[in-house]
């Protein structure tokens, strides 16, 4: 199988730079006229996939909103992953796992090994037990051609107390993680891949960071829409790295449902806005 970086690069060229989140918040279920139970969850999530799976490059189910419904919710998540892949979208499973040793390997087996029904094209992880604690996921993903998105500069107000802290070497913790990801992508880029398979998560609402965000892999930028970020903010945050950015939104799109056409139109508007931003940036460069 081609590497995740290659597959994502091709998907963005064909479908535009956008990741649609599938976050079945209780409030969204209610807004769609659905019960907050496993049946409502399945109707919501599979409708989202039906509307968006043939349109967006990347679909991002948030695991927690499925897990809260127990084993039936996890079974729905398995079907959502399968449906999204069948529709041609890449699947980024948002689990933000972070652990050590055999436990981290178990997470890797769950989310990065095709033998598991929870295996997605890529997974989010937290590096704040040390970057090398991620090694089981990084290695397992690489073997199977999958991707990994590492939390780097998140937009939550609590993030800076860890991410902006300075190490003994004078670099910020976030900058250290960005450097690790850059190194992890070096071999793939040297081999000719257009994009590395290890990405980072940088919030669209973080503003100018002062960090070097050119890591050779994709830059997932959550926070567009309901969280206050705009497409125009992406130029401020990412600068020259803008071509590697994958903006992400969930409620901004899902709030347009449950009608399939309305969901699809909401995603297409964002895709077109990003495409326009990239065009203007290329002219100014």
Catalytic residues: 96
Asked if 267 and 33 count as a contact pair (C-beta separation under 8 A), the reply is no
Residue (of 131, 135, 137) closest to 95 by Cα position: 137
| 239 φ/ψ sector (left φ>0, alpha ψ -120 to 50, else beta) | left
Asked if 199 and 220 count as a contact pair (C-beta separation under 8 A), the reply is yes
Q: What does each C-alpha distance from 237 to 20, 92, 103, 266 come to in angstroms? A: 20, 22, 34, 23
- Count CB-CB contacts under 10 A for residue 240: 12
The torsion angles phi and psi of 124, rounded to 5 degrees, stand at: -95, 145
Between CA 257 and CA 255 the distance in angstroms is: 5
Q: What angle do CA 208, 123, 59 make, to 5 degrees?
A: 80
């Amino acid at each position: 199988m081609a590497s995740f970086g290659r597959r994502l690069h091709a998907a963005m060229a064909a479908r535009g730079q956008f990741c649609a989140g599938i976050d079945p918040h209780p409030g969204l279920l209610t807004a769609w006229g659905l019960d907050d139970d496993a049946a409502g969850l399945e109707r919501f999530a599979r409708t989202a996939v039906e509307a968006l799976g043939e349109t967006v490059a990347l679909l991002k189910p948030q695991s927690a909103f499925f897990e809260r419904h127990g084993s039936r919710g996890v079974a729905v998540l398995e079907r959502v992953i399968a449906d999204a892949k069948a529709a041609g979208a890449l699947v980024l499973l948002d689990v933000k796992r972070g652990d050590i040793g055999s436990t981290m390997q178990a997470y890797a087996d769950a989310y990065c090994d095709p033998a598991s029904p929870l295996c997605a094209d890529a997974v989010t992880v937290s590096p704040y037990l040390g970057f090398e604690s991620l090694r089981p996921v990084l290695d397992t993903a690489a073997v199977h051609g999958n991707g990994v998105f590492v939390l780097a500069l998140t937009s939550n107000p609590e993030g800076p107390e860890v991410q902006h802290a300075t190490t003994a070497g004078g670099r910020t913790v976030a900058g250290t993680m960005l450097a690790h990801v850059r190194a992890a992508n070096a071999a793939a880029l040297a081999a000719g891949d257009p994009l590395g398979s290890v990405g980072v998560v940088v919030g669209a609402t973080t503003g100018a960071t002062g960090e070097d965000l050119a890591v050779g892999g994709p830059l997932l930028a959550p926070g567009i829409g309901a969280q206050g970020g705009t497409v125009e903010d992406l130029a401020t945050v990412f600068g020259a790295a803008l071509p590697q950015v994958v903006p992400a939104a969930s409620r901004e799109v899902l709030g347009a449902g449950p009608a399939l056409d309305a969901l699809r139109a909401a995603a297409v508007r964002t895709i077109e806005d990003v495409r326009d931003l990239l065009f203007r940036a290329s002219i100014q460069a």
